Amino acid sequence: MPNWKDKMIRMMYGRYGADTLYAFLQVLFWIVFVVNLFVRSSILSLFSSLILVWMLFRFFSRNIEKRRKENECFLRISKPMRSFISLQKMRWRERKNKRFRRCPYCKTILRLPIKKGVHVASCPKCHHDVKVHIWW
């Protein structure tokens, strides 16, 4: 008698499974679900149910190409927000060792060592020499 793991593998064969959009929908579902516990709104309840149905539909779908295109579209739309969050995480992680300044020519973020005074840095994007003052 096959175990549960083998049964799940056979059931999921040819199905799409989880991706980035699925993970986003899962987080969104739990946020709406928890808010609905306090608010008790039928609209939020319906919205969370629709999110759950859409998640499960995408997870068990056999139309892999269409689900892949949906995920690519989601990634393209969410890229600016994900880049911003990634930059903020990096700035927080390196706050004791680096200072971040913008290039006045191309607006690229420059990552500079934390030495006080005037720095002359070359922008990696536009190759201008940028004079940067670091005071703290």
- Give the end of a domain, one of 73, 93, 113: 93
Judgement on whether residues 130 and 76 belong to the same structural domain of the protein: no
Task: Work out the percent of the chain whose per-residue pLDDT is above 70.
Answer: 98
pLDDT class for 81, splitting at 50, 70, 90?
Answer: very high
Averaged pLDDT, 72-85: 96
According to DSSP, the residues that pair with 112 across neighbouring strands are 99
Could you report the per-residue pLDDT of 42-75, keeping only the tens digit for each?
Answer: 999 999 999 999 999 999 999 999 999 999 999 9
Residue 98 in tokens: 């680096």
| pLDDT at residue number 135 | 76
Q: Once rounded to an integer, what is the mean pLDDT over residues 107-132?
A: 87
Q: Are residues 66 and 83 in the same domain?
A: yes
What does pTM read for this prediction? 0.73
CB count within 10 Å of CB 12 equals 12
Percent of the chain topping pLDDT 90: 59
Q: What is the pLDDT of residue 20?
A: 95
Same domain, 100 and 76: no
C-alpha 109/C-alpha 105 separation (Å) is 11
* Domains contained in the chain, number: 2
**pLDDT band at residue 10 using 50, 70 and 90 as cut-offs:** confident
Q: What is the pLDDT of residue 136?
A: 65
How many angstroms separate the CA atoms of 59 and 22, rounded?
7
**pLDDT tens per residue across span 112-121:** 888 888 888 8
Residue 94 predicted with pLDDT over 60: yes
Q: Are residues 1 and 49 in the same domain?
A: yes
Query: Domain range holding 66?
Result: 1-93
Domain identity same for 47 and 114: no
Q: Is 88 found in the same domain as 100?
A: no
Clarify whether residues 116 and 84 are in a common domain. Answer: no
